[in-house]
Amino acid sequence: MRILILCTGNRCRSQMAHGILKYLCPSIEVHSAGVRPATEVHPLAIQVMSEIGIDISQHYPKSVDQYLNQTWNYVITVCGGARENCPVFNGTVANRLHIGFDDPDAFTGSPEELLTEFRRVRDEIYKELQKFAKILES
Q: How confident is the model over 31-51, as a mean pLDDT?
A: 96
For residue 38, what pLDDT is reported? 96
Looking at the chain, the whole-number percentage of residues with pLDDT higher than 70 is 92
12 DSSP β-pair partners: none
> For residue 41, with 0-12 CB atoms within 10 Å meaning exposed, 13-18 middle and 19 or more buried, which class applies?
buried
Q: What is the CATH number of the domain that holds 118?
A: 3.40.50.2300
Structural domain range at position 85:
2-137
Q: Which residues are catalytic?
A: 7, 79, 86
| Domain count for the chain | 1
What three-state secondary structure class fits 126?
helix
Kindly indicate the confidence band of residue 84, based on its pLDDT and cuts at 50, 70 and 90.
Answer: low
Q: What is the pLDDT of residues 6-29, one digit of tens each?
A: 998 999 999 999 999 999 999 999
23 DSSP β-pair partners: none
Rounded Cα gap, residues 31 and 78, in angstroms: 13
The mean of the pLDDT values for the chain is: 92
Q: What is the pLDDT of residues 60-81, one digit of tens each?
A: 999 999 999 999 999 999 987 6
User: Residue 115 phi/psi, 5° resolution?
Assistant: -60, -40
The string of DSSP codes covering 56-76 is: -TT----BGGGGTTS-EEEEE
Higher pLDDT, 137 or 116: 116
Higher pLDDT, 123 or 79: 123
Rounded Cα gap, residues 138 and 132, in angstroms: 10
